[in-house]
Amino acid sequence: MSKVLVTGSAGFIGGYVVEELLSRGHEVVGLDNYSKYGPVSRSYDSHPRYHFTEGDARDVELVTELLADCDHLIAGAAMIGGISYFHAYAYDLLATNERIMASTCDAAIKAHQNGKLRKVTYLSSSMVFESTEHWPSAEGDERKIPPPLSSYGFQKLAVEYYAKAAWDQYKLPYTIVRPFNCVGVGEGRALGEVEVLSGNVKLAMSHVVPDLVQKVLKGQDPLHILGDGSQVRHYTYGGDLARGIVVAMESDAAHNEDFNISTAESTTVRDLAAVIWRKIKGADVPLSLVSDDPYEYDVQKRVPDVSKSQKVLGFEATTSLDEMLDEVIPWVTQAVAEGRL
């Protein structure tokens, strides 16, 4: 099996990726500076094939040292958050993530030239399709449509340019993966998260699923949503995303390719709210919704074409929204009871 460096290993998706790698027999080196949530503990911290370093992905020397005997790098470190997060920190997201990506690529280029590094798997985002006016979004559309308007979407598109430029000049092999709307457990409220009231309840981590769950648990009625609720998303289980990411990392057919990693199921925010309400309150309690003013970059539709990942990787996200919520709701319930949300 391979030895894999995962930057951003303590993050939301990073945690799922580490679990998936270990389950497949890989040796994993984790790197994180705990800037998002502060120190966190994971079930795999004491796993004999997991080695964690607390440090910054902007430290070229450190990343180069960690990569010296690694076969793969999964470049996941980034300043990232939900919709209120990337509105509040528009400049910091752009500047910090550019520095992370440049440093990561500098280290990877050295490791590929002097060590055994075979490939970098870059985590991009569905937000590269932010400005599209046709759906579903297929791989390649990101270069045919207008660039993203948000600094976060623009920077994620820049990640893909870094990947391709490092190949063009230094022949550093890459795979680009674009996760869509991760849903799962283990996410906390970000350090420095801007507190935004939605009705009488603060937004939770500014991601819609935990936000709606905690509002219902706290008794908000009518339930507040951003905009009119017609926004379309593809809510994808973190474990499925991690499996797709690792399959892409392992696959020879993914050499210098890009993939949308997502469920094929579309869900509106209104439909999501109704499912969460029913699961917590029961079918007999009527749901009333109130629309809060949407954010400027609240994309109305994010719908991926997933045929390439199915055909090339044999990957399909199989966890249903019901199954995701059956895991997330008890986790958020405990977080609310413990005062973490």
Model confidence pLDDT, tens digit, residues 60-87: 999 999 999 999 999 999 988 766 777 7
Give residue-wise pLDDT tens across range 115-151: 899 999 999 999 999 999 999 999 999 999 999 999 9
pLDDT in tens, 226-261: 999 999 999 999 999 999 999 999 999 999 999 999
The continuous run of DSSP H or E covering 232 comes out as strand 232-233
HSE on the CB side for 53, CA within 13 Å? Answer: 15
Task: Inform me whether the pLDDT recorded for 206 exceeds 60.
Answer: no
Q: How confident is the model at residue 42, as a pLDDT?
A: 87
Report the candidate in 259, 260, 279 with the shortest Cα–Cα distance to residue 320: 279
CATH architecture of 197-231+266-302+325-337: Alpha-Beta Complex (3.90)
CB-based contact 179:262 (threshold 8 Å): yes
Would you give the DSSP letter of residue 329?
A: H
Between β-strands 289-292 and 223-226, what pairing exists: parallel, antiparallel or unpaired? Answer: parallel
For domain 3-185+235-264+306-317, give the fold.
Rossmann fold (3.40.50)
More confident: 201 or 108 = 108
Q: What is the DSSP string of 154-206?
A: HHHHHHHHHHHHHHHHH---EEEEEE-SEE-S---PPTTPPP-EETTEE-STT
CA-based radius of gyration for the chain: 19
Residue 173: predicted pLDDT: 98
What number is the average pLDDT over the span 199-226? 81
Nearest to 221 by CA among 293, 283, 294, 281: 281
The answer, as to whether pTM is greater than 0.85, is yes
Domain ranges of the chain: 3-185+235-264+306-317, 197-231+266-302+325-337
| Alpha carbon distance 157, 159 (integer Å) | 5
CA-based nearest residue to 120, from 72, 53, 191: 72
